Amino acid sequence: AQTVTQSQPEMSVQEAETVTLSCTYDTSESDYYLFWYKQPPSRQMILVIRQEAYKQQNATENRFSVNFQKAAKSFSLKISDSQLGDAAMYFCAYSSQGGSEKLVFGKGTKLTVNP
Amino acid sequence: EADIYQTPRYLVIGTGKKITLECSQTMGHDKMYWYQQDPGMELHLIHYSYGVNSTEKGDLSSESTVSRIRTEHFPLTLESARPSHTSQYLCASSELGRGRGSNTGELFFGEGSRLTVL
């Protein structure tokens, strides 16, 4: 079974600085998707960024980018120019390609942004 | 914001009561999911559905049941609530993808229903 590990329960960053959240996963599949989801306090969880395993290029969405290392099974999220609105729980998630799209989530990293 | 709604947002009830958590989406998505999330913990899939009259149990065993009579509606029911059921329940939906690249895996989540059983 696939597992997702987030080794940082909490992280903090100064406003306008850069922070990197770590995620590792375990799978025997070669084709899959990886995601970072953001869950603000008492608000809906939303997708931040998605990476297809068959693509070598790292995904980027504005201030958010990933460092996808397939061989190392590592998928970190970098947030540049951090903003107060970035404060949230961030979950790394895995999904099999062509499957049921059931996501396997990590335990999450709570990000605090200090003004 | 995503068009998926959960009610109630907060519910405090006594042991033994029957409860139904409602979830509706207006996006026409075929797939719907229920996740259970304890504070500070990861999400665990408890039920999912691929369409009308389709329901499956997820990876985490749950005493709750679900139904899918209409595409847009996916309620979760607990026949007799217990303190161990205290948790947050998140509903989500996604499109039914076919073929490589169409299975985006993106889930759209509701705001959650926080259940406390006394």
Q: For residue range A37-91, what is the model confidence (pLDDT) as tens digits?
A: 999 987 889 999 999 888 889 999 999 999 999 999 999 999 999 999 999 999 9
Residue A99 pLDDT > 80 = no
**Closest-CA residue to A112 (of A13, A28, A20, A23):** A13
**Closest-CA residue to A112 (of A36, A41, A24, A35):** A41
> What is the reported pLDDT for B102?
47
What mean pLDDT comes out for the span B88-104? 70
Interface touch B103/A98, C-beta < 8 Å = yes
Interface touch A107/B31, C-beta < 8 Å = no
Q: What contacts A88, CB < 8 A, 6 or more positions away?
A: A38, A39, A40, A41, A110, A111
Is A111:A6 a contact under the CB 8 Å cutoff? no
Residue B107 pLDDT > 50 = yes
Spacing of C-alpha B45 from chain mean position: 8
Give the chain A residue nearest B113 (alpha carbons).
A42
State which H helix or E strand residue B32 sits in.
Answer: strand B31-37
Share of chain B above pLDDT 70, in %: 90
What mean pLDDT comes out for the span B4-14? 95
Is B75:B60 a contact under the CB 8 Å cutoff? no
CA dist B59 and B62 (Å) reads 9
> What is the reported pLDDT for B106?
80
Nearest to A97 among B50, B100, B107 (CB): B100
**B66 band by pLDDT with thresholds 50, 70 and 90:** very high
Distances (CA, A) of B75 to A49, A87, A98: 29, 31, 26
Residues of A in contact with B42 (CB under 8 A): 4, 91, 105-108
Interface touch B41/A107, C-beta < 8 Å = yes
